[in-house]
Amino acid sequence: MYQYFYDLTGNTILATLIVAVFPLVNVLIVALIGVYLERKVSAWIQDRVGPNRTGPFGLFQTVADFVKMLQKEDATAKDIDSKLYNIAPVLVFTGSFAAYAAIPFSSKLIGSEAEVGLFYVIAISSLVVGGILMAGWSSNNKYSLLGAMRSAAQIISYEIPTAIIVLSIVMLTGTLSLDKISNMQTAYFWNWNIFGGAEFGITKFLLIPFMIVGFIIIFISTLAEVNRTPFDIPEAESELVAGYFTEYCGMKWAMFMLSEYGNMFAVSAIVSILFFGGYHSPIGYLGNTLGIEWLIPFEQAFWFLAKGWFFILVQMWLRWTLPRLRVDQLMSLCWKYLIPYAFVNLIIIGVISLL
Amino acid sequence: MKEYFRNTWLGIYTVLVGMKITFKHLFTPAVTIQYPEVKLKLPERERNRLYVNMDDCIGCDQCSRACPVSCIEIETVKSIPGEDLGVTSNGKKKALWVTKFNIDFAKCCYCQLCVFPCPTECIYMTDIFEFSEYDRNNLVYKFATLSEEEAQEKKLNFEKFTAEKEAQKAAAAAKPKDDQKTAS
């Protein structure tokens, strides 16, 4: 993709910007449709109708909200630390958006084919914690500060089980490149890592239960990392008003929301790459059977987006199912349950992959 | 250790149970009634805005007297002989012009006490309950069918009639005196 635009424009900066537009558009669409779906799914689960006044089926509700947010006055409190206060939303959004640089949307639409893509994603998404802490501290508001502290504690804790499960996948596949991990699970769905990977043999069947455990652990811990219910104690509405972005309004607030939905998709993408074949189709390609080469990348993009959206929907489903965890429950879930299981899982997968 | 595994199992199992329940609800139709478009059927004995069928009203003032908050104002004028006011639907002959029949719904307490005494059943509760107004004066509903001029005319007619009657009476009272005078 980058090469193509480089050949087209002959300018590295321009080509990079053009390639960066694609994930940006994706984030915007995810936020736009995600907020709408969030409302609709919550309404359906609670036997309500949901937004249905603005446009057909309420489709323009998010657009209307966005327009409202653009028009809003940028009201700020008097005693804020304005430098940090203004940088924080940008930093949070950068953290969630930068993760898209290494995520392969299809075999042709990859921002960076870096060999350490997975490592990069894990590292860069931690930038969000810094932004959140800055937002909480600079707001000069006790709720913001409490939310930010909780968020930092939570994200840092849950990074450990995530990293361990990622490590076990890396042990199995032997690479950190997201593109290569996806390519190892090509062709059909039984080649996915959750079904033991592409290599057929006794190890494949031995791996399946441990892969499922790994998937559950990484799903829970990534859910906690993006601050979604049941792990939304950083922005617990009923306790902390809105948590770390209590003092924000208008477009700065929208940046936080955008990064939340961007994060949701990024996390879903990582989970689908690690366990569900990434952009590869589960049932083979139409382009291959029809003999149309150029169709394949589009199909791959479709499957990638479909998998990402599926996990976003599961996240929403969980959100409207489970109540929020208490802080001590949150910590005990991470340190007492997820991390030991993840370690045992890591050892077992290591032993099996040695066989 | 046993407790630990039990906790793990319970954690996963209960989450799955919850997810199953919410998944079921995802496909149950919404219970929302979208009010202005869809309205619930009101109960049979609902009490809402009053309506007066003036064709049947005989101007007996019983509803006004039954009203605990005095929100019904009625003024009537007697008809003069020769004027035909028609009959009510249950055969009662009307004898009074109803020149004013105002109900102030700002005062009305929807007790339905005015409905029962009505001999012709012309005042009753309807199923209309959306009649909010910005101005309180708009809540005074005027039911009288006669226009202002007509009412004035009827009043004048009656006054003329009574005046004539008085004159006749006076004349009748005066006559025997004259007779006596002439007789004596």
CB contacts of A43 in chain B (<8 Å) are 30
Environment class of residue B26 by beta-carbon count within 10 Å: exposed (0-12), middle (13-18) or buried (19+)?
Answer: middle
Tell which of A41, A47, A221 to mutate to test the B interface (max B CBs under 10 Å): A47
Tell me which chain A residues have a C-beta less than 8 angstroms from the C-beta of B35.
none
Q: Strand order of the sheet with strand B72-78?
A: B72-78, B96-104, B140-142
Q: What is the pLDDT of residue B182?
A: 55
Residue to mutate among B1, B22, B23, with most A CBs inside 10 A, is: B22
Cβ-Cβ pairs closer than 8 A, A with B, add up to 42
Q: What is the pLDDT of residue A142?
A: 84
Task: Name chain B contacts of A322, Cβ cutoff 8 Å.
Answer: 15, 18
pLDDT at A10 over 80: no
Closest among A215, A152, A156, A177 to A334, alpha carbons compared: A156
- Report how far Cα A304 is from the mean position of its chain's Cα atoms: 13
User: Residue B29: phi, psi to the nearest 5?
Assistant: -65, 150
Cross-chain residue pair B25–A45, CB shorter than 8 Å:
yes
**B19 contacts A48? CB cut-off 8 A:** no
- Mean pLDDT for A141-155 is 85
Contact (CB<8Å) B22/A317: yes
Tell me which residue of B18, B119, B114, B103 sits closest to B65, measured CA to CA: B114
Contacts of A337 in chain B (CB under 8 A): 7-8, 11
**Pairwise CA distance, residues B143 & A52, whole Å:** 41
Statement: residue A319 has pLDDT above 70 = yes
Mean pLDDT of the residues in chain A:
83
Query: Any chain B CB within 8 A of the CB of A215?
Result: no
Backbone angles phi, psi at B71, to 5 degrees: -100, -10
Contact A317 B25 (CB under 8 A): no
A171-196 core/surface letters (b: 16 or more CB in 10 A; e: else)? ebbebbbbbbbbbbbbbeeebbbbbb
Strands B123-125 and B50-52: antiparallel
Partner-chain contact B22 A337, CB within 8 Å: no
Secondary element (H or E) of residue B52: strand B50-52
> Picking from A254-263, B15-24, B77-86, which range would have the lowest pLDDT averaged per residue?
B77-86
Give the contacts of A160 (CB within 8 A, at least 6 positions apart): A334, A339, A342
Which residue did the predictor score with more confidence, A120 or A113?
A120
pLDDT category at B180 given cuts 50, 70, 90 is low
By residue count, chain B amounts to 184
Q: Which residue, chain included where needed, has tokens 């919850």?
A: B18
Answer whether residue B54 shows pLDDT above 60: yes
Maximum pairwise Cα distance, chain B? 137
Chain B positions in Cβ-Cβ contact with residue A41 (cut-off 8 Å): 26
pLDDT of the residue at A1 = 65
pLDDT at residue B183 is higher than 60 = no
**In the prediction, which pLDDT does A89 show?**
87
Residue A73, C-beta contacts closer than 8 angstroms, at least 6 positions apart: A249, A250
Identify the closest residue of chain A to B22 by CA–CA distance: A45
Query: Do B30 and A317 make contact, defined as CB atoms within 8 angstroms?
Result: no
Structure tokens at A228: 């979604």
A residues 315-354 closer than 8 Å to B (CB): 317-318, 320-322, 333, 337, 341
Residue B178 confidence (pLDDT) above 70: no
What average pLDDT does the segment A326-337 reach?
Answer: 86
Given B7, B28, B32, which is nearest A49 (Cβ)? B32
Cβ B63 vs Cβ B117: under 8 Å: yes
Q: Is A45 on the interface with B (CB under 8 A)?
A: yes
Q: Residue A49: helix, strand or coil by DSSP? A: coil
pLDDT greater than 70 at residue A195: yes
Q: How far is CA A186 from CA A189, A191, A296, A316, B59, in A?
A: 8, 7, 13, 28, 91
**Domain locations along chain B:** 50-149
**For the residues A89-111, what does the mean pLDDT come to?**
83
CB contact (8 A) between residue A341 and residue B8: yes
Whether the per-residue pLDDT at B181 is higher than 70: the answer is no
Task: Write out pLDDT tens, residues A287-298.
Answer: 777 777 777 788
Query: At CA A8, angle to CA A183 and CA A286, rounded to 5?
Result: 35
Sign of CA dihedral A239, A241, A247, A251: positive
Q: Does B12 touch chain A (CB under 8 A)?
A: yes
Residue of chain A nearest B26, judged by CA positions: A45
Q: Which residue matches tokens 């009201």?
A: A75
pLDDT at A279: 82
B121-149: average pLDDT: 85
CATH code of the domain made up of B50-149: 3.30.70.3270
Q: What is the distance in angstroms between the Cα of B28 and the nearest Cα belonging to chain A?
A: 7
Amino acid type, A130: G
pLDDT at B17: 92
Which residue(s) pair with B72 in the sheet?
A: B103
CA neighbours closer than 13 Å in the CB half-sphere of residue A125? 31
Closest approach of A306 to chain B, Cα-based (Å) = 19
Report the residue from B7, B19, B25 with minimal CB separation from A47.
Answer: B25
Q: Which residue has the tokens 């005078």?
A: B181
Q: Is the pLDDT of residue B179 over 60?
A: no
DSSP code per residue over B137-165: GGGEEE---S-HHHHHHHHHHHHHHHHHH
Q: Are A45 and B22 inside 8 Å of each other by CB?
A: yes
pLDDT at A108 over 80: no
pLDDT greater than 80 at residue B160: yes
Q: pLDDT band at residue B93, thresholds of 50, 70 and 90?
A: confident
Top pLDDT among A188 and B73 is at: B73
Q: Would you say residue A234 has pLDDT above 80?
A: no
pLDDT, residue B176, reads 66
CA distance linking residue B162 with residue B167, whole number of Å: 8
Distance from CA of A58 to the nearest CA of B (A): 14
- pLDDT 10s digits, A206-218: 888 888 888 888 8
Q: What are phi and psi of B96, to 5 degrees?
A: -125, 140
